[in-house]
Structure 1
Amino acid sequence: MSEKMTTANSAEQGKVDIDFAECAVPKWSRRRFVTMFMIMLGFTFFSASMWVGQEMAAGLDFWGFIKALLLGGAILGIYTGLLGYVGAETGLSLDLLSKRAFGEKGSYISSALTSFTQIGWFGVGIAMFAIPVARELFGGSTAVEWVLILIAGACMTASAYFGIKSLTVISYIAVPLVAILGTVAMIMAIKQGDGTIVDQFAKSSGSLSVIGGAGLAIGSFVSGGTATPNFTRFAKNGKQGTIATVVAFFIGNSLMFFFGAISYIFVGGNDIFEVMIRLNLFYLAILVLGLNIWTTNDNALYTAGLGLANIFNKRKKPMVLISGVIGTLLSVWLYYNFCGWLNILNCTLPPVGIILVISYFMNKKAYDTDTIKIVTVNWFAVAGVILGAIVANVVTWGIASINGMVVAALCYVIGEIYKREK
């Protein structure tokens, strides 16, 4: 079936929110694989991931960088791939899945954590565009900075407001441009450097282990990756949702890490924008920076809107507007004061995601019916998120997000066993 509905379904479309915030996505509204791949690939094109590439390049040699990228990508791929599968098979958003795993009221904790984190990163993303562009164009003028913030915030909020169709259009435009222009700039920078790329990576301090680098790679997008079901629920089936997620996330994150690494090696920075400025590609640099951030920011705001809609029992679109206004107005403050807190919050979301996955596979038959009995609060699931987040932020051994997921999974499984034996 094509992406457009049949005539028989036209009446049904008029009665249902096209983003299906309150129900499973029906089969007639599912998208092609290419569309899902582009949406998921665009989601990973986030400038903050380049910061991680900078850290990895500063602490690892070339082969250590590759090993960390592969290990981190594999772990992140397994996590997001499972979430992608669950989202596609059930057609349910992160928040509707949370109701089944955490309970009606218990789902508020996962919705709140997700919305709060995504609004924060949305604001940071806007500032990441406005501040460097204002600096390059008008010497850092505060007035210009705020004009750019308001324009960018309005555009990105609008694309999230209009939902999955708008996200699709932005992704089809931005993904090829960012991938091609960014890669060309990266190759140009390498050619202008001293020796091969292996030689240039040799300048690193060697202060980071492969495991440490993999941890950075996972942490860079594990919070955003938790929202995967919000998008893969539009996939034709679980297989397509999983493949689109795993392949797109690996390619997208790898590109961002390389962009950040080459920026560090070439100009001592952390963004391909700085490399393109050095290469005298000024206007292309602004285009790449803006589109790069836009493809992630509209997805983040879309996720925040769904989360707030669940908490306040309102429609998604007004919640998207509220989230966009908050993120836009607080963008500069978030950029300078909140990145550290957002990284801490990143550790709270993997426990949510792993519980959603385990809940589905332990109660699979219950997800096949709309008559599933939803409890008020699943306290074992809530405890799993709280304890998992504490462990992820406190324990220094291993990889933080995995530590949190293990604890959360144990809490949830123990709770399920206890309920069945009761």
Structure 2
Amino acid sequence: MKKIDVEYSLQAVPQSERNNFWKTLSVMLGFTFFSASMLAGGELGAGLSFSQFILIMLIGNIALGMYTGSLAYIAAKTGLSTHLLAKYAFGEKGSYLPSFLLGFTQVGWFGVGVAMFAVPVATAMDWNVYALIFIFGVAITASAIFGMKALVVLGFIAVPAIAILGSYSVFEATEYMGGFDTLWSYEPTETLTVAAALTICVGSFISGGTLTPDFARFAKTSRSAVVATVIAFFLGNSLMFLFGAVGAMSYGLPDISEVMFLQGLMIPAIIVLGLNIWTTNDNALYASGLGFANITKLPKKVFVVVNGLVGTLLAMWMYNNFVGFLNILGAAIPSIGAIIIADYFFVRKRKYGTFKEMTFKPVNWVAIGAWASGVVIAQLAPGITPLNALIGTATVYIVFMYLASIKMKKEEAPVLRKAD
């Protein structure tokens, strides 16, 4: 008897298996309620006044919402994951490039999450941090293979729990500072530039945001997918930033876990932080497994194990180089989503052929070149790295695809010969 792929990793999700708005919103909120975003919020809080932080957070998350909302629309219309959508723009083998890049970054997020739990807990409990990283990393990896249904239940518990605990932590931190008036008048000792702050804000979830189709493809309608995604990224990401930023402004600590420990929230912090990271890291392993499965055609479960072990081994390095890691993501990842969006809306005019009936070209070198150009533009152009990558890549791709289509039409046109 042939096994049914209930995750539809190599095909479109049929309408009969789609979810309603509330289920889609629940999934997307769980996706965005990521503790590493609190660390990014802490970095912003350490370098911005509170009013500047609010403005940067709003602008950054509006940009993220527009980006992820566009990808969610395409996913719901086609029922395809990011890796399968990439075949239309990059080609069959060309899609291996985005699959590798996205898979690699999700392994990195997995490592950051493991360390974010292990480091503060090991410090507070006087345990060996490397032993705790290994135990926690292996446990999450094992649950990603055998405990998917249980993790869905954990997600419903973890999201409201982290929201309640984070809100309480913000209230306590504000009281510690002397009230809301003191928080509003807060001025940092070292300042971040607007470009650097927006790069951290947008870059914090640009990698995960590019993988929005992996989850939004299960939405019943494109409208519900877009609305759920925009709400989740705007609300969820904003809350995570706020929790981290207020703690940094009050105590001078960008790590929300250390703030909670100072507030006497040790046991609740360990439990809720652990649950939240556990469920989010499962998403990271899921997405990275899809990416490497697209490249090798091997079962996704194989890469869940491999990626989990690699992420565990790299956990401390990722944790200690977090902001630098965000800058790398800001340069390399947005170009992938930009090409998918540009291809669907501007090049193909929302007309994608049915996936199972498509014959893809091996490699679309225009897409590869546009991606490389986007990375260069992100590095050299002044301003906000991820947005430079998005706009630059989309522009290059649209222009050169247009030129390529003109050239193809000329080559296919019949040659008129003079009569003898």
Structure 1 length normalisation: TM-score?
Answer: 0.90
Q: 1:137 aligned to 2:125?
A: yes
What secondary structure, in the 3-state scheme, does the structure 2 residue paired with 1:221 have? helix
SS for the counterpart of 1:202 is coil
- For the structure 1 residues 62 and 247, does the alpha-carbon distance in structure 2 shift closer, same or farther, using more than 3 Å as the test? same
Aligned-pair distance for 1:291?
2.3
Give the secondary structure class of the aligned counterpart of 1:327: helix
What amino acid is the match of 1:413? I
Correspondence for 2:411: none
1:96 aligns with 2:96: no
CA contact (8 A) 1:56 1:261 kept: yes
Q: 1:393 to 1:176 in 2, by over 3 A?
A: same
Distance across 2 between alignment mates of 1:130 and 1:393:
33
> CA shift at 1:337, angstroms?
5.5
Mapped pair 1:316 → 2:304:
no
Report the Cα offset of residue 301 of structure 1: 1.2
2:395 aligned with 1:410: yes
Once the two structures are superposed, residues 283-338 of structure 1 have per-residue CA deviations (whole angstroms, 9 ceiling, x without a partner) of: 00112221232232111111110000011111212111111121123322433367
Kindly provide the amino acid, as one letter, of the partner of residue 400 in structure 1.
Answer: T
SS at match of 2:357: coil
SS of 2:356 mapped into structure 1: coil
Aligned to 2:310: 326
TM-score, scaled to structure 2: 0.90
Paired residues of 1:44 and 1:253 also in contact (CA < 8 A) = yes
Contact kept, 8 Å, 1:31 with 1:236, in 2: the verdict is: yes
1:385 to 363, 367, 371: 371
Write the mapping of 1:20-169 to structure 2, written as runs, cut at 5 A.
Answer: 20-138=8-126, 141-142=127-128, 145-161=129-145, 165=149, 168-169=152-153
- In structure 1, the residue corresponding to 2:254 is in which secondary structure? coil
Residue by residue over 1:197-249, the C-alpha shift from the partner in whole angstroms, topping out at 9 and shown as x without a partner, is 55455232472354543332111111111110011011111111111111011
Shift of 1:369: 5.2
1:359 aligns with 2:343: yes
1:193 counterpart residue number: 177
Q: Which protein shows a greater Rg?
A: 2
Q: Are the structure 2 counterparts of residues 343 and 214 from structure 1 closer, same or farther at C-alpha, using a change threshold of 3 Å?
A: closer
Cα distance in 2 for partners of 1:154, 1:33 equals 33
Structure 2: runs of 5+ lacking an equivalent:
409-420
Identity of aligned residues (%): 46
The one-letter code matched in structure 1 to 2:388 is N
Residue of structure 2 equivalent to 1:3: none
Q: Report the alpha carbon displacement of residue 163 of structure 1 after superposing the two structures with TM.
A: 8.4
Cα distance in 1 for partners of 2:169, 2:329 equals 33
For the 8 Å contact 1:119–1:304, the answer to whether it is kept is yes
Q: What does the per-residue CA deviation read over 1:16-71, in whole Å, with 9 as the maximum and x for residues that have no partner?
A: 21111110111121122222212211222223222322232233222221111111
Alignment: residue pair count = 405
Separation (CA, whole Å) in 2 of partners of 1:65 and 1:338: 19
Counterpart for residue 191 of structure 2: 207
After TM superposition, the structure 1 stretch with the greater mean CA deviation from structure 2, 145-154 or 312-321, is 145-154
User: In structure 1, what is the Cα distance between the partners aligned to 2:285 and 2:273?
Assistant: 18
Q: Distance in 1 between matches of 2:162 and 2:322?
A: 27
Distance 2:77 2:10 in 1: 16
- 1:4 is aligned to none
- Checking the alignment, whether the CA contact within 8 Å between 1:68 and 1:214 is kept in structure 2 is yes
**Contact 2:288 / 2:307 at 8 angstroms: preserved in 1?**
yes
